[in-house]
């Protein structure tokens, strides 16, 4: 029985409100190394977003390289297959690609014109063919245009969807060719948004292809694939479709919107002709993300009680939403002083962000906006930028794509 472990969205190098999450990332990687060896996992699949940015800090690169070096020393896994995500920089992943290939690690970070090259044969320990992994990276618009999967002046979102569908259709045809004489299990990867997936308003899930508007239908994935190992959405889930389609989710919380997620991986048990069983592998969480709401005195009491009770391995990160009835111009100073005192008194919790609202102040603002036609929810930096970019009708599409990448980097750094 072949064992394949599906994970994604590590986001190495991620910082949350200037708070370094490297300890969380190393905690996960250490657990993963032990689990792979003890459970004798044959194949480790990582479906994109290894790093949080295209140019990750040195600490993130060291964590990645040390992890792969440790896996090479172990008997298991026998294969490591990594595909890039929309957060990853191709250059970062491509530099050690040839070296890693000699360590039985395959890195796929761009679409190959020879679609058959995306099919990676997986063998049993005796050398017999056991399965195929169809390694598909994040499909950038430029890839699709170069592959003539987007032609002419058609609606951009529709063109992207058609391009993605075209890639998976071509790969399914390749699979059918190599499996027509013998039924062999096939696992495909992907890093994209599939319509129907439950996604939080997470500051760690940078929207792909103009938000989720270019999301594809589950029908994109053919029955030629026994299992589709997806990345990008940080909530682990299974989707309804022609085949078994799943997001592994992020292995640890990356934003406060993910504080209540169940963080896990998927373990596939692959038989001679099919994926026979898929089970959830729950991950240990070293720190909790908590949010407390109420008046300042209420929140202060909640935080004090929680700080004395928590047993997390690392310092828990807190977000506070404070709301008072009457406007008090000195309250923000009082809160800041309390935060400083709290951080000096305990290492169990740290307040990384808080918001302060006054009901009276909100009512006054509402009065000022009476009669205005512009609504606050209409202002979205990404929407405004995209609309402005579309006005540049003479600008080549490849230059627009470069600007989009740079803009998303700026949004993320200043978010």
Please give the average per-residue pLDDT across 13-26, as a whole number.
93
Reading the block at residue 228, the tokens are: 């589709």
Residues 18 and 115 placed together within one structural domain of the fold:
yes
Question: 292 φ, ψ to 5°?
Answer: -125, 135
Strand, coil or helix: 209: coil
Residues 391 and 300 placed together within one structural domain of the fold:
no
State pLDDT tens for residues 280-314: 999 999 999 999 999 999 999 999 999 999 999 99
Arithmetic mean of pLDDT over the chain: 87
Residue 264 pLDDT class (50, 70, 90 cuts)? very high
Q: How high is the pLDDT of residue 210?
A: 45
Residues 216 and 296 placed together within one structural domain of the fold:
no
pTM: 0.83
Please give the average per-residue pLDDT across 325-346, as a whole number.
93
User: Which residue's structure tokens are 């760690």?
Assistant: 204
The per-residue DSSP string of 299-336 comes to: HHHHHHHHHHH---SSPEEEEEEEEESS--TTHHHHHH
- CA–CA gap between residue 36 and residue 42 (Å, rounded): 8
Of 132, 136, 149, the closest CA to residue 85 belongs to: 136
Question: In terms of residue numbers, what domain contains 407?
Answer: 376-413
CB 372 within 8 A of CB 396: no
Residue 373 pLDDT class (50, 70, 90 cuts)? very low
From 235, 263, 282, give the residue that closes a domain.
Answer: 282
β-sheet with 349-358: strand ranges across? 289-294, 316-324, 349-358
- CA–CA gap between residue 388 and residue 344 (Å, rounded): 47
Q: How high is the pLDDT of residue 128?
A: 94
Reading the block at residue 59, the tokens are: 């600490």
Residues 120 and 259 placed together within one structural domain of the fold:
yes
Residues 99 and 173 placed together within one structural domain of the fold:
yes
Structural domains in the chain (count):
3
CB 400 within 8 A of CB 198: no
Strand residues in 252-346 grouped as ranges (E): 264-270, 275-282, 289-294, 316-324
Residue 339 pLDDT class (50, 70, 90 cuts)? very high
Question: What's CA 353's distance to the chain center, in Å?
Answer: 22
State pLDDT tens for residues 218-253: 999 999 999 999 999 999 999 998 899 999 999 999
Give the rounded percent of residues in the chain with a pLDDT score beyond 70: 87
From 223, 257, 282, give the residue that closes a domain.
Answer: 282
Strand, coil or helix: 324: strand
State pLDDT tens for residues 200-227: 655 555 555 444 556 899 999 999 999 9
Task: Please count the CA atoms within 13 angstroms of the CA of 370 that sit on its side-chain side.
Answer: 6
Residues 313 and 254 placed together within one structural domain of the fold:
no
- CA–CA gap between residue 110 and residue 113 (Å, rounded): 10
User: Which residue's structure tokens are 């799943």?
Assistant: 246
10 Å Cβ neighbour count for 380? 11
- CA–CA gap between residue 280 and residue 218 (Å, rounded): 21
Q: Is the pLDDT of residue 67 over 90?
A: yes
């Amino acid at each position: 029985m072949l064992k394949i472990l599906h994970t994604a969205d590590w986001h190495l190098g991620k910082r949350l409100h200037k708070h370094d999450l490297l300890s969380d990332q190393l905690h996960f990687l250490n657990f993963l190394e032990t689990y792979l060896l003890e459970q004798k996992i044959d194949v480790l699949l990582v479906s994109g977003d290894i790093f949080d940015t295209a140019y990750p800090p040195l600490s993130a690169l060291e964590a990645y390289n040390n992890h792969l070096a440790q896996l090479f020393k172990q008997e298991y896994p026998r294969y490591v297959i990594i595909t890039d995500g929309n957060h990853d920089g191709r250059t970062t992943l491509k530099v050690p690609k040839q070296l890693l290939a000699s360590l039985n690690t395959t890195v796929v970070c761009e679409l190959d014109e020879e679609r058959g090259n995306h099919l990676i044969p997986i063998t049993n320990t005796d050398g017999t063919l056991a399965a195929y992994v169809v390694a598909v990276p994040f499909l950038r618009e430029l890839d699709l245009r170069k592959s003539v999967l987007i032609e002419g002046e058609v609606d951009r979102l529709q063109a992207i969807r058609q391009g993605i569908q075209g890639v998976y259709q071509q790969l399914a045809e390749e699979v059918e060719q190599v499996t027509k004489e013998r039924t062999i299990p096939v696992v495909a990867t992907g890093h994209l948004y599939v319509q129907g997936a439950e996604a939080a308003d997470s500051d760690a899930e940078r929207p792909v292809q103009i938000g989720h508007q270019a999301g594809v239908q589950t029908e994109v994935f053919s029955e030629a694939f026994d299992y589709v190992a997806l990345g990008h959405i940080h909530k682990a889930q299974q989707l309804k479709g022609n085949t078994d389609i799943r997001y592994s989710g992020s292995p640890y919380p990356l934003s406060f919107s993910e504080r209540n997620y169940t963080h896990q991986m998927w373990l596939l048990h692959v038989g001679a002709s099919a994926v026979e069983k898929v089970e959830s592998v729950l991950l240990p969480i070293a720190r909790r993300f908590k949010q407390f709401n109420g008046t300042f005195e209420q929140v202060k009491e909640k935080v004090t009680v929680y700080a004395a009770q928590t047993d997390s391995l690392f310092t828990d990160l807190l977000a506070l939403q404070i709301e008072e009835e009457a406007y008090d111009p000195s309250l923000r100073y009082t809160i800041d002083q309390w935060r400083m005192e709290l951080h000096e008194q305990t290492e169990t919790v740290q307040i990384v962000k808080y918001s302060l609202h006054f009901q009276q102040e909100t009512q006054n603002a509402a009065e000022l906006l009476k009669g205005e036609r512009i609504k606050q929810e209409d202002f979205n930096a990404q929407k405004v930028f995209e609309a402005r970019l579309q006005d540049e009708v003479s600008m080549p599409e490849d230059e627009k794509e470069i600007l989009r990448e740079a803009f998303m980097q700026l949004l993320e750094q200043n978010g």
